[in-house]
Amino acid sequence: MANILIVDDSRTSRKIIRAMVEEMGHRVIAEADNGEDGFLKFKEWKPDLVTLDITMPGMNGLEALRLMMNEDKNAKVIMVSSAWQKNNMLKAIKLGAKDFLAKPVEEDILQLTITEILRKSGEEDLQVLAVEKEPV
Amino acid sequence: MVSHIIGNYLVNQGMISGEQLAGVLKEKRKIRANLGLIAVSEGILSYEEAQEIRAEGESDRAFAENAVEKGYLTEGQIKSMLRKQGNSYMAFAQALENLNVMNIEQLEQYLLEQQQKNGLSFTELEDLKSDDVNRILPIYFPGDTAPFLDAACVAVRTLIRMVDSGIYPFKAFLTNQWEVSNCVIQFVEGEKEFSYAIAGREKELAVVASCYMHEPYEKVDEEVLDVVGEIINCMSGLYASELSQDGIILDLLPPHFYGQIREISAESMLVLPLGVKNHTFYLLINRNNLVKIL
């Protein structure tokens, strides 16, 4: 089970994503409706994973992503957007987003994406652990 | 889409009742068209010939074997007909027949009469039967509305996917003002700016939101407008994504919500009335962002 932060200005979108991730057995630890609040909640709650909308009033998702990655270079952030525009996707990937999901989000695709990110992060954690345990 | 277009047309013309249509649409979901019906619809067999072949065996396999043996159909025609069994129009026609509302011969005859009456070409009638949004919508778009067609196709495909597969269009038109009571509008800025709005006069947006969220909404309130905003956001995003294939960079602005208005006005905007569950709401498209909400 992962602790998830949902950042999206649409209450409807947050409600749909929350229902999906809870159905998968994860826990939504916080929600935010703009980038600034999203970043504050990211610092406060230290979630295992973030779903982050791009188009939001005030601070947008790309700016919030930049702040989150500065705060924690291992942050696991999935960008969620209705527009698959190459420029935004490239920016998000450059900034360190783990994946990019199109709206309307489909449950099976969200599940696959989260599972894959958590699996990879589990493997990375094990490798770090193995390196730490190696005799000097 | 085609079942709802033809079905509602039959109801409006007094050919069938609303109750019969509801039953037919329910039946349609459970069935596939039989080969005899497809052969009549395609004009390969007459209704009598299809009945005669069917009398010797009810199943599609028996029908195909008998039709080939008697020289009515070739194996190639059977193969082509098998591919059409899942077609929405054929399944609708089959449901009409199964419930003894109308047989395929009567339906085809009626459609031909209406085609002539409404000045549709044979190609347009075939486009309608295809159940393909990209082929059906142009029928509802008179010449001066053509520049809005691409944006409308993306919007209607999205609405069918997210809201209800039974959404169907009425004739589109251009106007500089349209009276509505509530709406959600999203502006998209950039090299090819545009805006989508979904608007209603009473509680139509609540119906749209109920269909998407599978929750009953009785009135157009903040929550309903937010749901409609999310639907518009997906429409705008998908159209912007399509345009980005041609290197056009666009920025989606957050949707604006209006619970109580009198009208939307613009220099020239497209209005596409759309039917869903016995309600009509409006998709409005503007090709620049000079829109006034009063």
Quote the pLDDT of residue B262: 95
> Please, what is the average pLDDT of chain B?
92
Quote the pLDDT of residue A49: 97
**Cα→Cα distances B227→B43, B183, B239, B266, B292, Å:** 45, 12, 19, 25, 22
| Residues on chain B touching A16 (C-beta within 8 angstroms) | 230
A82 or B199: which carries more pLDDT confidence?
A: B199
The model's pLDDT over B45-67, given as tens digits with 9 standing for 90+, comes to 999 999 888 887 778 889 999 88
Q: What is the mean pLDDT of residues B105-131?
A: 87
A12 touches chain B (CB under 8 A): yes
β partners of residue B177: B265
pTM above the 0.90 mark? no
Quote the pLDDT of residue A40: 97
Terminal Cα distance for chain B, rounded: 33
Quote the pLDDT of residue B110: 87
Question: In this complex, do B237 and A102 lie within 8 Å of one another by their Cβ atoms?
Answer: yes
Quote the pLDDT of residue B258: 96
Minimal C-alpha gap between B142 and chain A (Å): 29
B161 touches chain A (CB under 8 A): yes
Quote the pLDDT of residue A26: 96
Instruction: Tell whether the model's pLDDT for residue B115 goes beyond 90.
Output: no
B290 or A23: which carries more pLDDT confidence?
A: A23
- Tell me which residue in B161, B244, B252 faces A55 most closely, judged by beta carbons: B252
The model's pLDDT over B257-288, given as tens digits with 9 standing for 90+, comes to 999 999 999 998 999 999 999 899 999 999 87
Rounded distance between C-alpha atoms, residue A78 and residue B97, angstroms: 50
Quote the pLDDT of residue A134: 61
* For testing contact with chain B, the best of A85, A87, A103, A106 (most B CBs within 10 A): A85
Pairing of strands B291-293, B279-286: unpaired
Close Cβ partners of A2 (under 8 Å, ≥ 6 residues apart): A26, A27, A47, A48, A49, A114, A118
* H-run or E-run covering A14: helix A11-23
Provide the token pair at A101.
Answer: 């999901």
Output phi, psi for B141, to 5 deg.
-115, 100
* H-run or E-run covering B106: helix B104-117
| Residues on chain A touching B229 (C-beta within 8 angstroms) | 10, 12
**Closest residue of A to B234, CA-based?**
A82
Lowest mean pLDDT among A14-23, A111-120, A124-133, B162-171: A124-133
B252 touches chain A (CB under 8 A): yes
Quote the pLDDT of residue A127: 61
CB A96 within 8 A of CB A26: no
Please report which residue ranges of B201-244 form alpha helices under DSSP H.
Answer: 204-213, 222-244
Which residue's entry shows tokens 């009198």? Answer: B262
Rounded distance between C-alpha atoms, residue A77 and residue A52, angstroms: 7
β partners of residue A7: A32, A52
**Closest residue of A to B244, CA-based?**
A85
B25 touches chain A (CB under 8 A): no
Query: Nearest-CA neighbor of A122 among A64, A49, A71?
Result: A49
The model's pLDDT over A42-96, given as tens digits with 9 standing for 90+, comes to 999 999 999 999 988 889 999 999 999 999 999 999 999 987 777 788 899 999 9
Residues 48-77 of A with CB under 8 A from B: 55-57
pLDDT band at A123 (very low <50, low <70, confident <90, very high): low
Instruction: Tell whether the model's pLDDT for residue B180 goes beyond 90.
Output: yes
- Tell me which residue in A10, A81, A86 faces B229 most closely, judged by beta carbons: A10
Q: Within 13 Å of residue B285, how many CA atoms lie on the same side as its CB?
A: 24
Region for B131 from its dihedrals, namely left if φ exceeds 0, alpha if ψ lies in -120 to 50, beta otherwise: left
Instruction: Tell whether the model's pLDDT for residue A131 goes beyond 70.
Output: no
Q: Letter for the amino acid at B266?
A: A
Convert A13-45 to b/e letters by CB count within 10 Å (16 or more is b).
bbbbbbebbeeeebebbbbbbbbbbbbebbeee
- Tell me which residue in B213, B236, B253 faces A82 most closely, judged by beta carbons: B236
The model's pLDDT over A27-37, given as tens digits with 9 standing for 90+, comes to 999 999 999 99
Rounded distance between C-alpha atoms, residue B173 and residue B146, angstroms: 10
E-strand stretches of chain B? 168-169, 173-179, 182-190, 194-200, 250-252, 256-258, 263-276, 279-286, 291-293
**Cα→Cα distances B196→A59, A77, B221, B284, Å:** 23, 30, 20, 6
| Residues on chain B touching A86 (C-beta within 8 angstroms) | 244
* For testing contact with chain B, the best of A55, A63, A88 (most B CBs within 10 A): A55
Omega cis (within 30) before B255: no
CB atoms inside a 10 Å sphere around CB B72: 18
Rounded distance between C-alpha atoms, residue B27 and residue B8, angstroms: 16
| Residues on chain B touching A80 (C-beta within 8 angstroms) | none
Instruction: Tell whether the model's pLDDT for residue B135 goes beyond 80.
Output: yes
Instruction: Tell whether the model's pLDDT for residue A126 goes beyond 60.
Output: no
β partners of residue B196: B186, B285
Query: Nearest-CA neighbor of A76 among A130, A131, A122, A35?
Result: A122
